[in-house]
Amino acid sequence: MDIIFGLLMAFVFLLLSVLHGVALVWPLGAAIALFILIHLRRGYSLATLCRFCWQGAKQAWPVFSILMLIGALMGTWLAAGTVPALVYYGTQLIHPHYFILCAFILSALVSTLIGTSFGAAGTIGLALMIMARSAGIENVDIVAGAIIAGTYVGDRCSPLSSSAYLVAMVTKTPIYQNLKQMLLTSLLPLALTLLIYGVLSWFYPLEISQPSQISRHLAAAFNLTAITLLPAFLVLLLASLRVNVKLTIILGWIVAAWLGIGVQNYGLGDIIRFTLWGFTIDNHTELATILVGGGLWPMLKVCAVVLLSTTLSGLLTGTQSLERVGRWLRVARQQRTLFAGTSLISLMAGAFGCTQTITILLTHQLVAPEYRRRGYGNQQVAIDLENTAVVLAPLIPWNIAGLVPATLLMAGPGFIPFAVYLYLVPLCNWLWPSRLDALPISTMANVSNG
């Protein structure tokens, strides 16, 4: 009973922090302290509980360097004009009768390039929403849903995605193999999503009578020659060649820093400032709230959330606080039913955890033992996490995975019914599950020997 009380209190802490804009490190810290007190009362020693916390926290270290490098890269991409160019050229390609479809495609492309749903929503997404409102689209929630769904195409499949690295870290699987499987399992839902948004676009066309005001502001603030897209193409090329991701990001940062100095006329001190603290633009008030982000310091806050999340996960794992949920999952006798159980647990973890990070960690903690017991390898666990926890977290109204992009787009939870890609990924993979490591271990050994 005390465990249920602790879970409910932790849920309340996290929910209140999201609703009132309080940094998530505080409710996570409070939840850890609460569970330590509960288990001290149950007879655990403080040293044992601290060991559980440390075992969980250690899982976060490998991903920290990637997160920090991504933060540095984003600050310089903004300064180099790479992100502004993506927004500028993207908005020029939009056809009025396919605006919603284009909103999804552009958001997906940008998020794949920069590896973050928040960054894509705050740049190309916000520009698209401003265009939609100024052109009088009847239901802007449809546009918001298409944009947020698009941003999670990259959040799920980009070589720069922090969630992809988190899944690879906790499942101990190679990131590029995961990306390949994510692409293959997303082909059908992606095709259906394009069809649905194409139909919606026809019924909700955009009436553009003049060039986008955002595009004019971007052209005035930056030198948007084609060379500013070089860092994006370089990162994609190196990622496709499977170059070490840290080296890829560092090279992308070097090229972007060179463009920021040589093309956009920033000084070296400015580039260092943007790398450390994130990009801001002060001399163009129209863009000040749109082109902002990146930096090592803001990414440290994300790292703190990941660290505390893994600490909480280690504590819950070591004390077997959620063992009952794991036992419930054992009723799954087929992979399809197992995937359905993983989806349901992902939704509960997303509602409880309020962040995509906690959703991934808690879901993995609860389902991985059952996957191993049934003979499925780590690759199957990884792809099922990507097809459930990663895309279902944004559908929880108070989970920051969807709350933050919606806030950036100045939209409410009304976007949720229209983020169809986030529904179709788990639905299609439930109906036609992936078959990685599908045979029990003993059976696979027999096949190999035969």
Beta-carbon contacts of residue 361 (< 8 Å; ≥ 6 apart): 166, 170, 309, 310, 313, 353
Single-letter amino acid code for the residue at 68 = M
Torsion, Cα 446 448 449 450, to 10 degrees, reads 80
- Alpha-carbon distance of 312 to 334, in angstroms, equals 31
Structure tokens at 129: 């929403």
For every residue of 336-363, DSSP letters joined together read HHHHHHHHHHHHHHHHHH-SHHHHHHHH
Structure tokens at 207: 């009436």
SS3 category, 121:
helix
Q: Specify the pLDDT at position 1.
A: 66
- Alpha-carbon distance of 413 to 425, in angstroms, equals 20
Q: Specify the pLDDT at position 174.
A: 85
Q: Specify the pLDDT at position 326.
A: 56
Q: Specify the pLDDT at position 272.
A: 94
Cβ of 363: how many Cβ atoms within 10 Å?
Answer: 30
Each residue's pLDDT, cut to its tens digit, for the chain (450 residues) gives 677 787 778 778 877 776 777 777 888 888 889 989 988 888 889 999 999 889 888 877 766 777 788 788 888 988 998 888 877 887 677 777 788 898 899 889 888 877 778 777 876 787 788 777 766 666 788 989 999 999 999 888 887 787 888 888 888 888 888 888 888 888 899 999 999 999 988 887 766 545 567 778 888 889 999 899 898 888 778 876 777 778 888 898 999 999 999 999 999 999 999 999 988 887 766 677 667 777 888 888 778 877 887 788 788 778 877 665 555 555 544 556 778 888 888 888 887 766 788 788 888 888 888 788 878 888 888 888 989 988 998 888 777 788 778 877 878 788 889 999 999 999 998 888 766 644 443 333 332 233
Structure tokens at 23: 């940094």
- Alpha-carbon distance of 276 to 239, in angstroms, equals 25
CA atoms 391, 396, 401, 406: torsion sign: positive
* Model pTM score: 0.72
